[in-house]
Structure 1
Amino acid sequence: MSPVFSHGDLRLYLLNLLDEGPRHGYDIMQALADRTGGTYTPSAGTIYPRLAKLEEEGLVTKTVDGRKTVYEITDAGRAEVAARAGDLEGIEAGLADSVRLIADEVRGSVREAMRSLRADLAAATQEDRASAAAWPPPADDARTQSREQLHRAETAVAEFRANVRSDLRTHIARGGELAASVVDDLTATLDAAARDVTRALRG
């Protein structure tokens, strides 16, 4: 999900970013992605026309620095930012809500993955017990089946690790924040899953 900039909000937020200091176009796009936890990554086609409009209105100026074009807010632009401080607070609150929602999604994905892993392990354990009760296999067959189930379990754990690691790294790469509570939930859920496996193995 991405934060929704209502009409005029993105324009004002661009002025706010430039009020913090001069920036070139890519820096502005990166700052927007960082401030929104990766939930909003604007394209050049979105940002540059708005910067050009702000320049036409006399709110920003631009200078060429080598291969980069640097934008800087004018006194008129600062005056608008100051006059609309209340609007900016509302925009910032909306962006903070979006980042919190992203954290909730990560936490929910971790919990769902662990529920699925526990369900798979429980089903495999029940299947093994049913097979043993119905037809006790020779010792060699039992060892072969155990090795196959071990491979299944190791594959499930590896896939879970890879998926969660990918989700977390992608979230951070997009500028998202990783709250301590999310890691705490992940650790607690993994500990619970380990205890479930131990109990299942002990029968």
Structure 2
Amino acid sequence: MAPVFSHGDLRLYLLNLLDESPRHGYDLIQALSDRTGGTYTPSAGTIYPRLAKLEEEGLVTKTVDGRKTVYAITEAGRAEVVARAGDLEGIEAGLADSIRLIADEVRGSVREAMKSLRADLAAAAQADHAAADARRAASATTADGARADAREQLRRAETIVGEFRASVRADLRGHLARGGTLASSTVDDLARSLDDALHALTRSLR
């Protein structure tokens, strides 16, 4: 995915955040994460050198408040924010696009996982039917053998579902750990797809 902020945009956006109110470093990091829907959470090593540069340029000042260093915009910094209002509008539009893109990626990943689950469940159901037909055709098949086969197919189906659950859980947690976000509509899509898969399996077992 392309960087959330182009060259120089993060500097201007930091000024914009400080124009809203004085903030300490962690607050700026959290604000950037919130404003980007979790798609971008910069490290302290990214934020503090830029704040130091802004201070050198006379665009921000810093004061120590207990154990925290609070940054505030200067009149010169505020003048730059006003002068570059058009650039800020472009940055805001880019952030909105980034949030939409990550949401689309998550929805796409869930849809692909659902397709795989439906295919696996259909294959398992077909295998159950084939095994049942073979058991009926073979007169030598005993009741104990049929029950053992059913137990084996049950274990197989449970393994498929368990692997799917682990895969989806790992994908979602990994996505969130990378700073992604998870929209309620995506979870709703997941619930609907699982419900469809369950109904398909129920019909195949009748």
Which residue in the other structure is 1:33 paired with? 33
- 2:187 paired residue number: 183
Counterparts in 2 of 1:63 and 1:8: CA distance versus 1, 3 Å:
same
Query: Is the Cα contact below 8 Å between 1:3 and 1:94 reproduced in 2?
Result: no
Q: CA deviation at 1:198?
A: 1.1
Q: Does 1:120 align with 2:120?
A: yes
Aligned partner of residue 63 in structure 1, secondary structure: strand
Shift of 1:60: 0.5
2:205 is paired with a residue whose SS is helix
Query: Cα deviations across residues 128-154 of structure 1 (Å, max 9, x unaligned)?
Result: 333333454321122122222223323
Which residue identity lines up with residue 179 of structure 1 in the other structure? A
2:68: which partner in 1?
A: 68
Partner of 2:142: 138
Secondary structure at the counterpart of residue 5 of structure 1: coil
What TM-score, normalized to structure 2? 0.86
Question: 1:38 Cα shift?
Answer: 2.4
The CA distance in 1 between the partners of 2:195 and 2:202, in whole Å, is 11
SS of residue paired to 1:37: coil
Q: Which moved more, 1:71-80 or 1:126-135?
A: 126-135
Three-state SS of the structure 2 residue aligned to 1:28 is: helix
| 2:153 aligned with 1:149 | yes
Counterpart mapping for 1:90-101 below 5 A: 90-101=90-101
- Structure 2 residue runs without a partner (length 5+): none
CA distance in 1 between counterparts of 2:100 and 2:172 reads 15
Most deviating of 12-21 and 167-176: 167-176
Give SS of 1:69's match. strand
Opposite residue 22 of structure 2, the aligned amino acid is P
How far apart are the structure 1 equivalents of 2:91 and 2:205? 53
Identify the range of structure 1 (183-192 vs 101-110) with the bigger mean alpha-carbon deviation: 183-192
Cα distance change, pair 81–39 in 1 and its aligned pair in 2 (3 A): same
Aligned residue number for residue 50 of structure 1: 50
Match of 1:199 in 2: 203
Contact 1:33 1:174 in 2 (8 A): no
Identity of aligned residues (%): 79
Partners of 1:55 and 1:61 within 8 A in 2: yes
1:45–1:179: structure 2 CA closer, same or farther, 3 Å change rule?
closer
3-state SS of the aligned residue for 1:33? helix
Q: Please state how far the C-alpha of 1:85 moved relative to its aligned partner.
A: 1.2
Question: Using the alignment, how far apart are the partners of 1:54 and 1:28 within structure 2?
Answer: 14
